[in-house]
Amino acid sequence: MTPAFGATVDSVDASSHSATQAKIIIIGDGFEQDNVNIFEIPGAEPRVVIDIADAKTSLIINGAYEGPQFDSVRGIRGAERNADDIRLVLDLKADSVLSGHNITAQKIEINLSGQFFVQESPVENVSALESLDQINVPTPRLKPTIARRPVIVIDAGHGGHDPGALGASGLKEKKVTLLAAQELKRQLEDTNRYKVVLSRQNDSYVDHDDRLRIARANGADLFISIHADATAGSSARGASVYTLADRAKNRSRNIVNSQNWIMDVNLEEQTDNVGNILVDLAQRNTFSQSTEFADLLIAQLGGSTHLLRNTHRRAGYYVLLAPDVPAVLLEMGFISNPEDERLLKTSAHRQKVMRSVTAAINRYFDIQKS
Ligand SMILES: [Zn+2]
């Protein structure tokens, strides 16, 4: 059977907009946010690494990049990795930096800022694979592999002085989120499969930082924040599920730095740069697991409640920012809609919705185990 490739790299091009702005353009097909990972390794010999998963190219021959070279970088190298991934490395000029990138289906644009009129000698002709090895970063091992019960942290939104949204007939979001969280905890504990932790047990306010800290301190394998939606009008109704938006990933990295979080990763040697790359890798992994769980959750919720159109949404909610804890935020329905509010008030409906959440969690960990 011939392997199905997701992407192809056909050629590499460059353009310069000014003496200080340049672009390297990777041309091909099948590029997506999900199969392209771009990161920078700063330092005395700055590099930009472009990993393209599930891709093929005729530019790499016998393990070495044979495509065109350009003046705006010291050199371009490349190698095949993991059987069907491609890694391209741009060796940047000493004083240039990655200033951004743009991915479309047919093009990956790498934007560089620096002094491009300076002529420098090209990078020595080292074996592509040999030198690429130097920047092979270990894949972070996020969770110990020893058998233990998965830890689920359930976060009841709002609480205390923060009532959250108010229902058409006065139901407070903070009340219904706590009731739902307690119901979910009961159901999960009944399975005997999980350790369950609530971020709050009563009508108290817990800071957003602390909600994340609780998740990480307990080694959460999954974090579910429970909310109820509201809009100005009363017609919108149905459940939706949020995962972290791509554009919020930088905030996530900043939190790691500002809170001095130690990433649970195996490292023989860790420099700050490698640390950042590991955060990237951890984040990528967490991001895809969150998405996987969101999909399972939506499939289950469809059987127990109305769904808002475009059910899977992305946002930069603070509680979703831990880079190493898969997390979703569930909006159970619109408290501002009289019918949704009426349903959310009844324990029968909350039980039904939380049964869907429990089923999705079971399914998610069944898949993780297999
Ligand atoms: Zn809320």
Answer yes or no: is 144 within a domain: no
Q: How far is the CA of 166 from the centre of ligand 1 (A)?
A: 10
Q: Is residue 13 assigned to a domain? A: yes
What pLDDT score does 64 carry? 81
Per-residue pLDDT tens over the stretch 320-358: 888 789 999 999 999 999 999 999 999 999 999 999 999
- Tell me the C-alpha distance between 38 and 98, whole Å: 10
Confirm whether 146 is domain-assigned. no
pLDDT at 125: 36
Distance 231 CA to ligand 1 centre (A): 11
When the pLDDT of each residue in the chain is averaged and rounded to a whole number, the result is 82
Domain assignment present for 280: yes
Q: Looking at this protein, which amino acid is placed at residue 91?
A: D
Q: Are 360 and 224 in contact (CB under 8 A)?
A: no
- Ligand 1 centre distance from Cα of residue 247 (Å): 21
Q: Is the dihedral of CA 80, 35, 223, 269 positive or negative?
A: positive
Span from the CA of 303 to the centroid of ligand 1 (angstroms)? 23
pLDDT of residue 119 exceeding 50: no
pLDDT value of residue 331? 95
CA of 179 to the centre of ligand 1 (A): 14
Q: Under a CB-based contact definition with an 8 Å cutoff, are residues 344 and 333 in contact?
A: yes
The answer on 197 and 51 residing in a single domain is no
Residue with more model confidence, 206 or 277 = 206
Same domain, 187 and 214: yes
Query: What's the average model confidence in pLDDT over 25-52?
Result: 85
* pLDDT tens digits along 162-190: 999 999 899 999 999 999 999 999 999 99
Q: How far is the CA of 177 from the centre of ligand 1 (A)?
A: 8
How far apart are the CA of 309 and the centre of ligand 1, in A? 19
pLDDT at res. 257: 58
| 108 and 159 co-located in one domain | no
Whole-number Å distance, alpha carbon 117 to ligand 1 midpoint, is: 53
Task: Please determine, for residue 272, whether its predicted confidence score (pLDDT) is greater than 80.
Answer: no
Mark whether 188 and 337 lie in a shared domain.
Answer: yes
Same domain, 160 and 294: yes
Tell me the three state secondary structure of residue 239. Answer: strand
- Which residue segment(s) compose the domain that 167 sits in? 151-369
The arithmetic mean of pLDDT across residues 39-50, rounded, is: 79
**Range scoring the smallest mean pLDDT among 16-25, 51-60, 231-240, 266-275:** 266-275
- 98 and 178: one domain? no
**88-91: long-range contacts, CB 8 A cutoff, minimum separation 24:** 88/9, 88/12, 88/26, 88/49, 88/50, 88/52, 89/47, 89/48, 89/49, 89/50, 89/132, 89/135, 90/24, 90/47, 90/48, 90/50, 91/45, 91/46, 91/47, 91/123
Residues 260, 325 within the same domain: yes
Burial of 21 (0-12, 13-18, 19+ CB in 10 A): middle
From the list 8, 125, 123, 116, the residue with the least C-alpha distance to 60 is 8
Q: Which pLDDT does position 4 carry in this prediction?
A: 57
Shared domain for 18 and 49, answered yes or no, is yes
Task: Answer for the pair 222, 364: CB distance below 8 angstroms, yes or no.
Answer: yes
d(CA 167, CA 177): 13
Structural domain count of the chain: 2
**SS3 labels along 263-304:** CCCCCCCCCHHHHHHHHHHHHHHHHHHHHHHHHHHHHHHCCC
Nearest-CA neighbor of 310 among 226, 243, 363?
243
What are the CA-CA distances from residue 133 to residues 138, 278, 284 (Å)?
Answer: 11, 16, 21
3-state SS, residue 230:
coil
Regarding whether 352 and 301 lie in a shared domain, the answer is yes
Q: Decide which of 133, 165, 180 is a domain's last residue.
A: 133
pLDDT class of 276 with cuts at 50, 70, 90: low
Question: Residues 250, 189: one domain?
Answer: yes
The residue from 133, 162, 188 where one domain ends is 133
* Ligand 1 centroid to residue 98 C-alpha, Å: 37
Query: Can you tell me which residue has the tokens 């967490």?
Result: 286
Residues 112 and 186 in one domain: no
Q: Do residue 158 and residue 101 come from a single domain?
A: no
Q: Residue 95 is part of a domain; what is its CATH number?
A: 2.60.40.3500
How far does Cα 226 stand from its chain's mean position? Answer: 19
Does some domain include residue 141?
no
pLDDT at 290 over 60: yes
Indicate which CATH number applies to the domain containing 197.
3.40.630.40
CA of 123 to the centre of ligand 1 (A): 54
| Mean pLDDT of the region 236-265 | 69
State the DSSP string of 116-131: TTS--PPPP---HHHH
Residue 99 Cα to ligand 1 midpoint, Å, equals 35
Q: What is the ipTM of this complex?
A: 0.98
Q: Is 104 helix (H, G, I), strand (E, B) or coil?
A: strand
Residue 158's pLDDT is what? 93
Q: Which residues contact 245 (CB under 8 A, 6 or more apart)?
A: 314, 315, 316
Q: How far is the CA of 199 from the centre of ligand 1 (A)?
A: 14
